[in-house]
Amino acid sequence: SGRTDVLAAFFVLLALFWAGRRSALARWGAAISVLFGLFAKEVAAAGLVAVFVAEWLAARELPRAQRLLRLLPATLAAVCYTALRAWAMGAGIHENGLTPRERLVSALEASGRYVWMLFDGWQPTAQIGYLGDPSPRFILLGAFALGGALLLLLHFWRRFDDFGLMALTLFGVSFALVLHLVPITINVVAADRFMYLPVAGVVLLLAPLALRPLGHPAFIGAALLCLSYAPATFARARAWSDEVEFWTTAFREQRDHNAMSRLELGNVYGRAGMHAHAVALYLDGDSGDFVNYLLAAHNAGMRLLTTGRYREARVILEDIVRKGPQIPKFQYALAALDVTEERFEDAEKHLKIAETLYPDSISTRNLRRAIADLKTAKNDPPPDLGSAKGLLEDATKNARLGRMKETLDRLLQASQAPDIELGELREALLYAFDWATPRQLSVIFERYRQRGGDSPTLIENYRLRMERVQRLRALWPTLAADARRRPTGAPAPSAIADPAKAD
């Protein structure tokens, strides 16, 4: 998720390298660079404003008409980006549901957290604060920090040269953009990646320090502070490069409102086919982080649907629809469950709501077409389950209904049939990679190899999957010990008590 921030920061710095120079080529280079930054992420708008400031200041001796002409390339870049964004995403800005008062409180808290993060880089965390659950100490720190910054700005204003004003613009605009004053559709107060451009602005503001002797106390202090971050940086980079280690670390670090770590670690287990483990993690989340709590419950319901536990899935999915009726994903999930149980009229009702909330959903359109096809094929004669062909036909029918458990049962039977062809086994194996438990996947893979299957890609993918499964199984006892409780009122299916028996 931080890659777009890195790209935006890179192209903004490239734009500032060109900005303020005499040649027209440099001005166009700055405009194109900042346009690429905007294509990466909206925060590059801070770079656009900084380019405008640099160009305007560099032409202060020119007549007004020529000064405006210098701004033409950057202006065209802004117009181009605005038009393309409106075409791709619409002209509006998504709201995050904060009132003006909550937005101000969040801005103060975010300011406090970012100031603290600048001086404390030894304790990184995956989720920094929660919107709607303000922290008084960081709100107070943010208020003092903003007040102090304003006083410093007023005191040193006349000392800024053109380069300093450009750097100050980059910092000020990019910092303001991540304070929730402009809505950001996330549920955290702060994020490390949001500080890439503001910190770049701070570095540019402090650039004159580099001209001082190496023995200057300010230089030595900054160098020692940066060096002290090295161990934490290396440790965090290692975690970030491995999703299992990252979400396991987050799981253990997040003691309060930890639904996000449960959600994402559950997804890791789910992608490995360890469905019961995934459900256990989803149902262990706290409700304080309400958005991720609902998403975790949604994923729990869908995993229960995957394993054929439709009644328990319905309890969870109907509950989240009551709690989040305006979320199209939840309406779609209930529609998918209705299709699985061949309750097509109920499914169409939920699809209609989902389409109203999200008219452009491809998944919703596909499910509606599938319902029409399933209604037409409802009275088709049952396939012959005595042959591989008949078993595969029944598997296909169950797959169209979203019955993954029944589909896998038929695929397992078909894989042992003497008349199954190698190509059919390969297709069964591909489906198993998506939905099967490790045991089911092993059965189908071994049969594929017995029949002469030798695809290097499938063999390597199977090896990697089994290595992942072994690692996740080894982690499970410590994860289960760290889980403090199951939320009050959450379903407790029997397999969740001992996921190993199910997966």
pLDDT score at 490: 39
Quick check: 84 pLDDT over 70? yes
pLDDT score at 359: 87
Neighbours of 282 (CB within 10 A): 30
pLDDT score at 493: 37
Question: What is the share, in percent, of the chain residues with pLDDT greater than 90?
Answer: 59
If pLDDT is split at 50, 70 and 90, which confidence band does 427 have? very high
Between 289 and 423, name the one with better pLDDT: 423
pLDDT score at 96: 67
pLDDT score at 496: 44
pLDDT score at 321: 94
Residue 401 exposed, middle or buried by CB count within 10 Å (0-12, 13-18, 19+)? middle
Helix, strand, coil percentages in the chain from 3-state DSSP, rounded to 5: 75, 0, 25
- What is the per-residue DSSP string for 160-177? --HHHHHHHHHHHHHHHT
If pLDDT is split at 50, 70 and 90, which confidence band does 287 have? confident
Quick check: 500 pLDDT over 70? no
- Say how far apart CA 471 and CA 440 lie, in whole Å: 18
Q: Residue 173 is which amino acid?
A: V
If pLDDT is split at 50, 70 and 90, which confidence band does 502 have? low
pLDDT score at 231: 87
The arithmetic mean of pLDDT across residues 482-487, rounded, is 52
The arithmetic mean of pLDDT across residues 44-52, rounded, is 96
pLDDT score at 49: 96
Between 224 and 501, name the one with better pLDDT: 224
In order of 255, 258, 478, the CA distances from 474 in angstroms are 22, 22, 8
Weakest mean pLDDT among 69-73, 171-175, 232-236: 232-236
- What is the per-residue DSSP string for 15-46? HHHHTT-SSHHHHHHHHHHHHHHHHH-GGGHH
Quick check: 486 pLDDT over 70? no
Strand partners, 128: 190
Q: Residue 90 is which amino acid?
A: G
Q: How much is the pTM?
A: 0.76
pLDDT digits (tens, 9 = 90+) for 234-251: 888 888 888 998 898 888
Q: Are 72 and 30 in contact (CB under 8 A)?
A: no
- Say how far apart CA 320 and CA 327 lie, in whole Å: 9
CA quadruple 56, 59, 65, 71: dihedral positive or negative?
negative
Quick check: 498 pLDDT over 60? no
Weakest mean pLDDT among 80-84, 107-111, 126-130, 353-357: 126-130
Residue 232 exposed, middle or buried by CB count within 10 Å (0-12, 13-18, 19+)? middle
Between 92 and 477, name the one with better pLDDT: 477
Task: Name 248's Cβ contacts closer than 8 Å, sequence gap at least 6.
Answer: 265, 475, 479
The arithmetic mean of pLDDT across residues 12-19, rounded, is 95
If pLDDT is split at 50, 70 and 90, which confidence band does 224 have? confident
> How does the average pLDDT of the chain come out, rounded?
88
Q: Are 260 and 130 in contact (CB under 8 A)?
A: no
If pLDDT is split at 50, 70 and 90, which confidence band does 489 have? very low
Strand partners, 190: 128
The arithmetic mean of pLDDT across residues 478-495, rounded, is 52
The arithmetic mean of pLDDT across residues 430-455, rounded, is 95
Nearest one of 88, 76, 14, 84 to 44, comparing CA atoms: 14
Weakest mean pLDDT among 236-245, 332-341, 396-405: 236-245
HEC sequence for 190-238? ECHHHHHHHHHHHHHHCHHHHHCCCCCHHHHHHHHHHHHCHHHHHHHHH
Neighbours of 77 (CB within 10 A): 23
Q: In whole angstroms, what separates CA 336 from the centre of its chain?
A: 24
Quick check: 338 pLDDT over 70? yes
Nearest one of 436, 473, 413, 480 to 307, comparing CA atoms: 436
The arithmetic mean of pLDDT across residues 389-405, rounded, is 92
In order of 94, 125, 461, the CA distances from 424 in angstroms are 46, 46, 18
pLDDT score at 483: 65
Structure tokens at 334: 């209930």
Weakest mean pLDDT among 26-30, 166-170, 218-222, 493-497: 493-497
The arithmetic mean of pLDDT across residues 138-149, rounded, is 94
Nearest one of 309, 338, 370, 326 to 496, comparing CA atoms: 309
pLDDT score at 494: 38
Quick check: 398 pLDDT over 80? yes
CA quadruple 489, 333, 186, 194: dihedral positive or negative?
positive
Weakest mean pLDDT among 49-63, 76-90, 231-245: 231-245
